[in-house]
Amino acid sequence: MSTVETRALTKVFSEVPAVNGIDLMAQEGEFLVLVGPSGCGKTTLMRMIAGLEEPTSGKILIGQRDVTALPPRTRNIAMVFQSYALYPHLSVYRNIAFPLRARGADRRTIAEKVRWAAGMFGIERLLARKPRQLSGGERQRVALARAVVRQPLAFLLDEPLSNLDAKLRTLARDELKQFQRRIGTTTIYVTHDQIEAMGLGDRIAVLSEGRVRQIGTPREIYSDPADTFVATFMGSPPMNLTESDGVLLGFRPESLMPKSAAIAFSAVTIPMRITRIEYLGADCLIYGVLQPPFPEGPAIVRTGAGGPPPCAPGDLYEFSVEEPDLKRFDRGTGLRCNSPRGERERHHRR
Amino acid sequence: MNATIDGDAVEPQDGGRRIHFLDDRLWLGRLMLAPAIVYIVALVGFPFVLAIIYSLSNVTVGSEGFHFVGLANFRQLVNSPQFWVAVKNTIFFTVVSQIAVIVLANILAMALLKDFPGKWLVRLLILLPWVAPISLGSIAWLWMLDPIYSIFNWVLRAVGWLGPNGRYIWLGQPDLAMASIIVVDVWRLLPLATVIILAGLSSIPKDLLEAAAIDGAGVVRRTFEIAMPLLLPIMLVAVLFGVVFTVTDLIVVFVLTRGGPFNSTQVLASWAYFTGIDSGDLATGAAISLFLFPVLVAIAVVLLRIAKRTELT
């Protein structure tokens, strides 16, 4: 168990910065998720921490030790690849044993530890099989067992759930989180899936264009986004944005409620022309176009599916949002202007 | 295209009886395969059958008649000491040159996998022996190995290995002659093996080698425990090609040593040529050349089986 830290870490690929001066600190035992769209630099950042990519500048510290110039094998970290990267010619047993053999462990220790790691993921009965004889979920468990077996200082996980089908993914997410809690090893997890990020992370770092836009707990990121990028990237459907009084006004689809239901005095009325209603089982999405005093633009409302939607397509309907749920962003920079946290993040990034 | 349009235009008048045969997948397939089949039958199948017939006869270049003699030619061969010398030479020549080819091709392919300035030039130079006609290359080697003009002797004298008048008779001493034909064969087959292994190496997922590096494996372990086993099926294909080319080829021996000195470099292919064509004994020549056929088939079957078994999907 150990901290993982990057200091002003930069990677430039043929004059294009993929990672641009990132300062990041994963605390001991923390589950830190790096989330962002494709090409935001999250995988490059992880590969630099693993030692697979050489930084252009900056430092990487694992357990306070500067490992920037060290090869991957001396960093004592484990990585699970998106493809799982199981050695196809080796049995599951020998796959899991590989890191131990590479470190020169004796036969008895290897046997003990492989059984322990396999037991942790319930794959003892698969030990004699070859990777090609395993299902996607089983391969993922083998990859995790191989990562865990030598008790590394930190885990790096590169979208390990993206090859699983939707149903299995939810289950695997839960198992992954429980497993990390149990062994308490510092974990850095890369994903482009914001639901995975919200569900797994103790803290989330939202990346875009090689920079960290915001670091915080899932709750902070969701309800206190530092800028319009974070506001619209996290959450599905994304935060609605419109202009009002010279600022960008943001509100989550679920914070809109029928005006008649609003009780707070400080609520803002949002008139909308309803265009479509989507019934999704657990909830209901109402698509519409904002009406004056707001500039015309699309907006989405999420309501519980308990009762019928309060309106029908074609209706002009008034929703309202309570003041605490309104986020204001600078029109030019996209940064938050009404949150002390926003201020802090902005300062931090500088 | 025109034919199809014409066919369509004519069709209604013929009541649909004349379907253009190029539109028929069955006939089109047969037509496309025909050149290859004609080529194989004419240039491989026919001579092969002829060789079998000859080997069971007493036919010579000058003979007019044809007498079936059964396996007499083969019996005579097995009892001839020269035949066993040729068998031994063929095996030694093939095994040593293939070991060298595989080791060197692996090293070269790994070097060529990395990016470095002038990589295209190195690739071109490596491919050159394969592109150049074998006979031309062999003649160039003949000069380089010449007892008087040999550039190797010249270099060895220049570095002081040999005295001012010292020289190696590269193609005139049994051990040096064998070494020389092995070197030339390796030079000739290395490009193909390198290209095959390079293709195999680039098909190994980068993730696997990176995972091994993170798992704590150094270069040696990564190479021998991850890359090599994954490369094995394709390496066996390279070995198979190499073995077949080496065993069946006579040009290197023919140009450089003509089997000498004292048959020390005589291989089955060259001996078959000298016996069948130069000496005119077609029947014995055919028998010699057929001798390795079952052995080669067995080698091919074994190698392809191993390749299939180790194939990973």
Are A73 and B215 a contacting pair at CB < 8 A? yes
Distance CA(A153)–CA(A183), nearest Å, equals: 11
Over the stretch A266-275, which tens digit does the pLDDT of each residue have? 788 889 999 9
Are B226 and A77 a contacting pair at CB < 8 A? no
Query: pLDDT at position A294, please?
Result: 87
Q: How confident is the model at residue B17 (pLDDT cuts 50, 70, 90)?
A: low
- Whether residue B82 has pLDDT greater than 60: yes
In chain B, residues with a C-beta closer than 8 Å to the C-beta of A71 are 213
Are B213 and A132 a contacting pair at CB < 8 A? no
| Whole-number average pLDDT of chain A | 87
Are A98 and B215 a contacting pair at CB < 8 A? yes
Fill in the amino acid letter for B15: G
Distance CA(A32)–CA(A186), nearest Å, equals: 8
- Whether residue B11 has pLDDT greater than 50: no
Are B213 and A89 a contacting pair at CB < 8 A? no
**What is the CB neighbour count within 10 angstroms for residue A272?**
24
Tokens representing A229 are 């990028």
Is residue A284 a contact partner of residue A304, using CB atoms and an 8 Å limit?
yes
Three-class secondary structure of residue A34 per DSSP: strand
In chain A, residues with a C-beta closer than 8 Å to the C-beta of B235 are none
Q: For A229-245, what is the mean pLDDT?
A: 89
- Whether residue A15 has pLDDT greater than 60: yes
Distance CA(A65)–CA(B9), nearest Å, equals: 82
Query: pLDDT at position A288, please?
Result: 92
Are B215 and A78 a contacting pair at CB < 8 A? yes
CA of B207 to nearest chain A CA: how many angstroms apart? 6
- Preceding omega of A293 cis (within 30 degrees of 0): yes
Q: For A81, which residue in chain B has the nearest alpha carbon?
A: B207
% chain B with pLDDT above 70 = 92
In chain B, residues with a C-beta closer than 8 Å to the C-beta of A103 are 216
Q: How confident is the model at residue A215 (pLDDT cuts 50, 70, 90)?
A: very high
Is residue A294 a contact partner of residue A243, using CB atoms and an 8 Å limit?
yes
Q: Which residue has the higher pLDDT, A55 or B70?
A: A55
Is residue A148 a contact partner of residue A132, using CB atoms and an 8 Å limit?
no
Query: pLDDT at position A99, please?
Result: 94
Is residue A50 a contact partner of residue A79, using CB atoms and an 8 Å limit?
yes
Domain boundaries along the sequence of chain B: 80-312
- Whether residue B59 has pLDDT greater than 60: yes
Closest CA to A99 of A107, A110, A112, A89: A110
In chain A, residues with a C-beta closer than 8 Å to the C-beta of B216 are 73, 99, 102-103, 150
- Whether residue B14 has pLDDT greater than 80: no
Q: Would you tell me which CATH number, out of the four given (3.40.50.880, 3.30.70.60, 2.40.50.140, 2.40.180.10), belongs to the domain A241-335? A: 2.40.50.140
Three-class secondary structure of residue A341 per DSSP: helix
- Whether residue B13 has pLDDT greater than 60: no
Lowest-confidence segment of A109-118, A171-180, B89-98 by average pLDDT: A171-180
Q: For B56-85, what is the mean pLDDT?
A: 84
Q: Would you tell me which CATH number, out of the four given (3.40.50.300, 3.90.700.10, 3.30.70.890, 3.30.200.190), belongs to the domain A4-223? A: 3.40.50.300
Is residue A174 a contact partner of residue A143, using CB atoms and an 8 Å limit?
no
Q: How confident is the model at residue A338 (pLDDT cuts 50, 70, 90)?
A: low
Q: How confident is the model at residue A347 (pLDDT cuts 50, 70, 90)?
A: very low
Query: pLDDT at position A349, please?
Result: 44
Q: For A190-209, what is the mean pLDDT?
A: 91
Domain boundaries along the sequence of chain A: 4-223, 241-335
Are A52 and B226 a contacting pair at CB < 8 A? no
Q: For B89-98, what is the mean pLDDT?
A: 92
In chain A, residues with a C-beta closer than 8 Å to the C-beta of B221 are 102
- Whether residue B1 has pLDDT greater than 60: no
Q: For A97-110, what is the mean pLDDT?
A: 92
Closest CA to B91 of B99, B79, B80: B99
**What is the CB neighbour count within 10 angstroms for residue B293?**
14
Query: pLDDT at position B170, please?
Result: 80
* Alpha carbon separation from A40 to A152, B283, B310 (Å, rounded): 27, 74, 39
CA of B220 to nearest chain A CA: how many angstroms apart? 11
CB nearest to A87's CB, from B208, B214, B216: B208
Q: How confident is the model at residue B70 (pLDDT cuts 50, 70, 90)?
A: confident
Is this structure's pTM higher than 0.80? no
Are A102 and B312 a contacting pair at CB < 8 A? no
Over the stretch B125-144, which tens digit does the pLDDT of each residue have? 888 888 888 888 888 888 88
Q: Any CB–CB contact under 8 A between B311 and chain A?
A: no
In chain A, residues with a C-beta closer than 8 Å to the C-beta of B203 are none
Q: How confident is the model at residue B5 (pLDDT cuts 50, 70, 90)?
A: very low
Task: Select the residue from A44, A67, A89 to test the B interface by mutation, using most B Cβ atoms within 10 A.
Answer: A89
Q: Which residue has the higher pLDDT, A307 or A332?
A: A332
Q: For A304-318, what is the mean pLDDT?
A: 77
- Whether residue A340 has pLDDT greater than 50: no
- Count how many pairs of residues, chain A against chain B, have C-beta atoms within 8 Å: 62
Closest CA to A197 of A233, A242, A146, A164: A233
Over the stretch A239-262, which tens digit does the pLDDT of each residue have? 999 988 888 989 999 888 888 776
Q: Which residue has the higher pLDDT, B295 or B242?
A: B242
Are A89 and B221 a contacting pair at CB < 8 A? no
Is residue A215 a contact partner of residue A24, using CB atoms and an 8 Å limit?
yes
Three-class secondary structure of residue A242 per DSSP: strand
Strand A283-290 relative to strand A240-244, pairing: unpaired
% chain A with pLDDT above 90 = 49
Query: pLDDT at position B6, please?
Result: 45
Q: Indicate the helix (H) or strand (E) that contains A157.
A: strand A154-158
Q: For A49, which residue in chain B has the nearest alpha carbon?
A: B214
- Domain B80-312 classified CATH 1.10.3720.10? yes
